[in-house]
Amino acid sequence: MVRFVARRLLQGVAVVFLVATLAFILFRLAPGDPFTRMGDASSASQEFKAQARRNLGLDQPLHTQYFRYIANLARGDLGMSFSEQRPVLRAIADRVPATVVLAAAALLIDFLLGIFIGAAQGSRAGSKADDLLSVLTLTLYSVPVFWLGLMLMLVFAHNVGLLDLLPATGSKTTGVYEYLTPLGQLTDRIRHLILPAVALGLVGAAGTARYQRAAMLDVIRQDFIRTARAKGLRERSVLLGHALRNSLLPIITLFGLSFPILLSGTVLVETVFAWPGLGKFVVDAIFARDYNVVTGAVIISACMVVLGNLLADLLYRAVDPRVRGVV
Amino acid sequence: MSELLRVRHLTTSFMTGAGLARAVDDVSLTLLEGETLGMVGESGCGKTVTALSLLRLVDRPGHIAHESVIEYQGKDLMQMSPAQLRQIRGAEIAMIFQEPTASLNPVLTVGAQVDEAVRAHRSVSRADARARTVELFELVGIPDPAKRVNEYPHQLSGGMQQRAMIAMALSCNPRILIADEPTTALDVTIQAQILELLVELKQRLGMAMILITHDLGIVAGVADRVAVMYGGQIVEQANTDALFRQPAHPYTSALLRAVPRLDQPATRLATIPGAVPPATAWPPACRFHPRCPQTMDHCKSEMPGLTETGPAHLTRCWLAEEQHRRDA
Ligand SMILES: Nc1ncnc2c1ncn2[C@@H]1O[C@H](COP(=O)(O)OP(=O)(O)OP(=O)(O)O)[C@@H](O)[C@H]1O
Ligand SMILES: [Mg+2]
């Protein structure tokens, strides 16, 4: 077990290193640097820009830049953000909690709802309810996340919405939050979380439900389900005790792969709901050619991939005894 | 001996892309208390579907015709509610299957799966159920049962898996054990052991057994009576001795010639020409006529009924019927 995790983490380091290298190459190959745009807008002299490039080491040969970049990375130094004038790591760290909370809430909705709907469908395949849910989930899956977010806002949000139930934007009520009791603060944050998390989670749940339905259909045809019925179990025990657990195996893989995808999904949702997370920050950084921030975000994303897959593998081992000795 | 199971006109069909498959067609049979009924026939003859139908375990798109009667101790399973049916399954009639590996849930320990069978029919504590499971494992000859109950199916050999399945089937002292090709998936050396175990347990616990196999050799030593299936129908049914001594149906004779015997060189082993057609395309009239060495014109135009061709000997064949009439 410990050896398994250690080996996986070591693999993870290799993945992150490769991704970091790719990110470096891609961004240095792209034309322009942080000062290209500055030149158009401001009146900064050529001399000033040359000086700034020297300060940041952008005048060095590429391989020198690369080795310094990797060496810094190994020490956890992602460089300075040109636009924020402070270390990238700190700028990112400020925004990660909001994004992680949003992504975790969305993942929870995604998988709980998706598994529930898909399992219910799979065990009643071909019924009217199954058909209806298929239409519903496929429709939902085709809806762009930001559009769903806007629609939710138009129905439920304060001021703009029909029902005036929940806050539309931000992660807390500015100006009021500081004066609330701890419980009040928590409620305030949860109320802000609901709409963006639901927007992101629902679309994911629609996809998960499709997978879960197929997985359930697959399991339900197997011989051990017949054995379970033959020993006189209730249908509910057959489905929950035997079919569901086996059908979760493919879903766990999907879960691991969903981690980074949700992170990119948050970009749109964070923009719509003005959520103070990583997504919007990174988009701005791309337009500002703030390399270090973008590379930093890519590396964080790679870490998410590694962690997501490690988590999925651990879950897999918990559910399926057959892989315990193997991977 | 009294009748334990009485099946009449059992018909099970599947709606498939290729049309309606009548996998079991008008099968009638009885099982007496404590007896062993052998069911033989080539692959695709409908043995498994018959067995599953007896406990109404056929999944969609399979369907058991409403006229079918499956009486267990006078009560018709076809008329039972799901709750009543559950009280029969596993408790009164238990089943073991052809593929032990596929028949066990891979993510649960074998012990847990037997516990569950015990607790499905008896209100006992987890600890008591586990104690019973260990006892059952010992009964079916699994060495070191207290340790084995905590293992997962993939940690057991095929033979041990099948023993665990037998333990599960016996957990509630059923009156009838249906064994669907219980040894087919196992090594030859293990086959004999499992068969011996089944026969011994059947005696010891006083159960009746339906033993399904495609190997007449197995049936010879074990069964009191034999039903031969072809094309979803029973084509011959008799006491084991009578069937082996005087097979009346050409299909039975052909099966007998295909049994390897110690006193003959293996090269002389006959095989039946042709293959069992799919259940969607049974031949008209007598279903065996395209493969039968003794086909007559009548066989191609009209289906023979299952008629008496000897004492307690039923045969579905025009030729056998004719011969019996001549002898009488
Ligand atoms: N789920 C199903 N859908 C469609 N046809 C089926 C289904 N199950 C069985 N059949 C058909 O019913 C017929 C009888 O099958 P069955 O499994 O009972 O044969 P069997 O005698 O048990 O053969 P084997 O020795 O291979 O186990 C076959 O033609 C088979 O194709
Ligand atoms: Mg079979």
Contact status, residue B248 vs residue B313, Cβ threshold 8 Å:
yes
Name chain A contacts of B90, Cβ cutoff 8 Å. Answer: 230-232
Q: Which ligand is nearest to the CA of B179?
A: 2
**Sole residue written with tokens 């999944």:** B59
B202: left (phi over 0), alpha (psi -120 to 50) or beta: alpha
- Kindly identify which residue of chain A lies nearest to residue B84, measuring between CA atoms: A232
Is residue A268 situated within a structural domain?
A: yes
Q: Is the pLDDT of residue B259 over 90?
A: no
- C-alpha torsion sign, points A17, A19, A21, A23: negative
| C-alpha–C-alpha distance, residues A24 and A35, integer Å | 18
Contact status, residue B204 vs residue B169, Cβ threshold 8 Å:
no
Domain count, chain A: 1
Q: Which ligand is nearest to the CA of B53?
A: 1
β B36-40/B225-230 pair status? parallel
Q: How confident is the model at residue B104 (pLDDT cuts 50, 70, 90)?
A: very high
Residues 6 or more apart whose Cβ sits within 8 Å of residue B278: B18, B21, B44
For B30-81, the three-class secondary structure string (H helix, E strand, C coil) is: EEECCCEEEEECCCCCCHHHHHHHHCCCCCCCEEECCCCEEEECCEEHHHCC
- Kindly identify which residue of chain A lies nearest to residue B165, measuring between CA atoms: A227
Is residue A174 situated within a structural domain?
A: yes
- C-alpha torsion sign, points A37, A38, A41, A44: negative
Contact status, residue B114 vs residue B149, Cβ threshold 8 Å:
yes
The average pLDDT across A198-225 equals 94
Is residue A253 situated within a structural domain?
A: yes
Name chain B contacts of A230, Cβ cutoff 8 Å. Answer: 55, 57, 89-90, 94-95
Contact status, residue B12 vs residue B49, Cβ threshold 8 Å:
yes
Q: How close B181 comes to chain A (CA, Å)? A: 14
Residues B36-54 have pLDDT tens digits of 999 999 999 999 999 999 9
Q: How confident is the model at residue B228 (pLDDT cuts 50, 70, 90)?
A: very high
The string over B201-211, giving b where at least 16 C-beta atoms fall within 10 Å of a residue's C-beta and e elsewhere, is: bbeeeebbbbb
Q: How confident is the model at residue B6 (pLDDT cuts 50, 70, 90)?
A: very high
What does the pLDDT read at residue B300?
A: 92
What does the pLDDT read at residue A271?
A: 86
Q: Is the pLDDT of residue A93 over 80?
A: yes
β B208-213/B36-40 pair status? parallel
Angle at A204 between CA A203 and CA A206, to 5 degrees: 65
Strand partners, B229: B234
- CB of B49 closer than 6 angstroms to any ligand 1 atom: yes
Residues B118-161 have pLDDT tens digits of 999 999 999 999 999 999 999 999 999 999 999 999 999 999 99
Q: Is the pLDDT of residue A96 over 90?
A: no
User: What are the φ/ψ torsions at residue B9 (nearest 5 degrees)?
Assistant: 55, 40
- CB of B44 closer than 6 angstroms to any ligand 1 atom: yes
Question: B82, A235: Cβ pair inside 8 Å?
Answer: yes
Q: Is the pLDDT of residue B270 over 70?
A: no
Q: Which ligand is nearest to the CA of B13?
A: 1
| C-alpha–C-alpha distance, residues B314 and B309, integer Å | 6
Name chain A contacts of B94, Cβ cutoff 8 Å. Answer: 230-231
What does the pLDDT read at residue A85?
A: 85
| C-alpha–C-alpha distance, residues A236 and A225, integer Å | 12
Contact status, residue B121 vs residue B90, Cβ threshold 8 Å:
yes
Q: Is the pLDDT of residue A260 over 90?
A: no
Contact status, residue B118 vs residue B172, Cβ threshold 8 Å:
yes
Write the residue with the smallest CA distance to atom 13 of ligand 1: B23
Name chain A contacts of B165, Cβ cutoff 8 Å. Answer: 227
- Domain residues for the domain of A208 are 89-323
What does the pLDDT read at residue A326?
A: 59
Identify which of B21, B119, B1, B10 has the alpha carbon closest to the alpha carbon of residue B65. B10
SS3 state of residue B112: helix
Strand partners, B76: B71
Beta strands in B73-201, from DSSP E residues, in sequence order: 75-76, 93-96, 176-180
Contact with chain A for residue B157, Cβ under 8 A: no
- CB of B278 closer than 6 angstroms to any ligand 1 atom: yes
For A232, which of B90, B152, B154 is closest by C-beta distance? Answer: B90
Report H helices in A31-87. 34-41, 46-56, 62-74
Q: A323 vs A129, which has greater pLDDT?
A: A129
| C-alpha–C-alpha distance, residues B208 and B178, integer Å | 9
Residues 6 or more apart whose Cβ sits within 8 Å of residue A176: A188
Residues 6 or more apart whose Cβ sits within 8 Å of residue A240: none
The average pLDDT across B289-298 equals 91
Identify which of B311, B306, B312 has the alpha carbon closest to the alpha carbon of residue B320. B306
For B154, which of A226, A242, A322 is closest by C-beta distance? Answer: A322
Q: Residue B66 CB: number of other CB atoms within 10 A?
A: 8
Residues in A lying within 8 Å of B, measured between beta carbons: 126, 221-224, 226-235, 237, 241-242, 245-246, 319-322
- Name the packing angle between helices A291-319 and A278-287 (round to 10°): 140
User: What are the φ/ψ torsions at residue B276 (nearest 5 degrees)?
Assistant: -65, 125
Contact with chain A for residue B56, Cβ under 8 A: no
Please give the number of the atom of ligand 1 that sits closest to the Cα of B41. 21
Residues A264-287 have pLDDT tens digits of 778 888 888 888 888 888 888 888
Cα(B98) to centroid(ligand 2), Å: 7
Paired tokens of A158: 């304060």
Q: Is the pLDDT of residue A131 over 70?
A: yes
- Kindly identify which residue of chain A lies nearest to residue B83, measuring between CA atoms: A234
- CB of B40 closer than 6 angstroms to any ligand 1 atom: no
Residues 6 or more apart whose Cβ sits within 8 Å of residue B110: B104, B148, B149, B151, B152, B153, B156, B161, B164
Cα(B58) to centroid(ligand 2), Å: 13
User: What are the φ/ψ torsions at residue B220 (nearest 5 degrees)?
Assistant: -55, -45
Question: B105, A242: Cβ pair inside 8 Å?
Answer: yes
The average pLDDT across A192-219 equals 94
User: What are the φ/ψ torsions at residue B186 (nearest 5 degrees)?
Assistant: -105, 160
Contact with chain A for residue B14, Cβ under 8 A: no
What does the pLDDT read at residue B59?
A: 86
Q: Is the pLDDT of residue A83 over 70?
A: yes
- Kindly identify which residue of chain A lies nearest to residue B87, measuring between CA atoms: A232
Average pLDDT, chain A: 86
β B313-315/B307-310 pair status? antiparallel
Is residue A108 situated within a structural domain?
A: yes
Residues A117-129 have pLDDT tens digits of 999 999 988 899 9
- CB of B16 closer than 6 angstroms to any ligand 1 atom: yes
What does the pLDDT read at residue A117?
A: 96
The average pLDDT across B52-66 equals 92
- CB of B182 closer than 6 angstroms to any ligand 1 atom: no
- CB of B41 closer than 6 angstroms to any ligand 1 atom: yes
Is residue A185 situated within a structural domain?
A: yes
Amino acid residing at A29: L
Q: A112 vs A260, which has greater pLDDT?
A: A112
Cα(B180) to centroid(ligand 2), Å: 7
- Kindly identify which residue of chain B lies nearest to residue A248, measuring between CA atoms: B107
- CB of B183 closer than 6 angstroms to any ligand 1 atom: no
Contact status, residue B94 vs residue B178, Cβ threshold 8 Å:
yes
Name chain B contacts of A231, Cβ cutoff 8 Å. Answer: 89-90, 94, 116-117, 120, 168, 171
Q: Is the pLDDT of residue A108 over 90?
A: yes
| C-alpha–C-alpha distance, residues B37 and B33, integer Å | 11
Average pLDDT, chain B: 92
What does the pLDDT read at residue B261?
A: 65
Name chain B contacts of A237, Cβ cutoff 8 Å. Answer: 116, 120
What does the pLDDT read at residue A23?
A: 84
Name chain A contacts of B82, Cβ cutoff 8 Å. Answer: 235
Name chain B contacts of A130, Cβ cutoff 8 Å. Answer: none
Contact with chain A for residue B84, Cβ under 8 A: no
**B93 CB-contact burial (10 Å; exposed 0-12 / middle 13-18 / buried 19+):** buried
Q: How close B75 comes to chain A (CA, Å)? A: 17
CATH number of the domain to which A203 belongs:
1.10.3720.10
Find the distance separating the first CA and the last CA of chain B, reported in whole Å. 29
Report the percentage of chain B scoring pLDDT > 90. Answer: 80
User: What are the φ/ψ torsions at residue B197 (nearest 5 degrees)?
Assistant: -60, -45
Q: How close A268 comes to chain B (CA, Å)? A: 39
**Sole residue written with tokens 């700190």:** A90
Is residue A9 situated within a structural domain?
A: no
- Name the packing angle between helices A46-56 and A34-41 (round to 10°): 160
Q: How far is CA A144 from the centre of its chain?
A: 16
Is residue A1 situated within a structural domain?
A: no
Residue A249, H or E segment: helix A245-272
Greatest alpha-carbon pair distance for chain B in Å reads: 67
Cα(B48) to centroid(ligand 1), Å: 7
Is residue A223 situated within a structural domain?
A: yes
What does the pLDDT read at residue A44?
A: 61
Cα(B67) to centroid(ligand 1), Å: 21
How far is CA A321 from each of CA A3, A197, A218, B102, rounded to the nearest angstrom?
Answer: 17, 34, 19, 15
What does the pLDDT read at residue B102?
A: 95
Q: How close B131 comes to chain A (CA, Å)? A: 18
Q: Is the pLDDT of residue B177 over 70?
A: yes
Q: A53 vs B95, which has greater pLDDT?
A: B95
Q: Residue B304 CB: number of other CB atoms within 10 A?
A: 22
Residues A59-73 have pLDDT tens digits of 778 888 888 888 888
